[in-house]
Amino acid sequence: MVPQYDLEKIKFGVDEKTWERAAGIYEAGKITETEEGYFGFTARVLGTHSYDVAISEDSFNCGHCSCFVGQSGNVCKHMIALAIWAVLRGAPLKK
């Protein structure tokens, strides 16, 4: 499955602080148990806790996360980190 977004769309679709934190999560290898399904991408993202995260293949800002921000209906750094993974599949992130 190929997402309908790229790094440029993600980076310019969120604030700089969220991008930097998400990039740090991605680069630290904290995205685990990734799967591709009918909806899009799911993963467990390690942080203060272990978070269940899902994003659509159509839009990086459509999905959910079990963290406080995600449960409030907002896009969080965990969702953005998973979106980065969906685009790069573990390849190095070039900032």
What the block records as the tokens of 92 is 């190095």
Q: How high is the pLDDT of residue 4?
A: 94
Helix H, strand E, coil C: the string for 6-62 is CHHHHHHHCCHHHHHHHHHHHHCCCEEEEEECCCEEEEEEECCCEEEEEEECCCCCC
- Domain for residue 1, yes or no? no
Q: How many CA atoms lie within 13 A of 68 on its CB side?
A: 3
In this prediction, residues 43-67 reach a mean pLDDT of 95
Q: What is the pTM of this model?
A: 0.95
3 state SS of 80: helix
Instruction: Tell whether 36 is covered by a domain.
Output: yes
Domain with 20, as residue range(s), is 7-88
Q: What does the pLDDT look like over 2-53, one tens digit per residue?
A: 899 999 999 999 999 999 999 999 999 999 999 998 889 999 999 889 999 9
**Do 70 and 78 contact (CB within 8 A), yes or no?**
yes
Average pLDDT, stretch 75-82? 97
**Is 80 exceeded by the pLDDT of residue 95?**
no
Domain annotation covers residue 95: no
What's the confidence (pLDDT) of residue 2? 87
Q: Amino acid letter at 43? A: A
Give pLDDT, residue 94: 80
Question: pLDDT value at position 1?
Answer: 80
Domain count, the chain: 1
Instruction: Answer yes or no: is 66 within a domain.
Output: yes
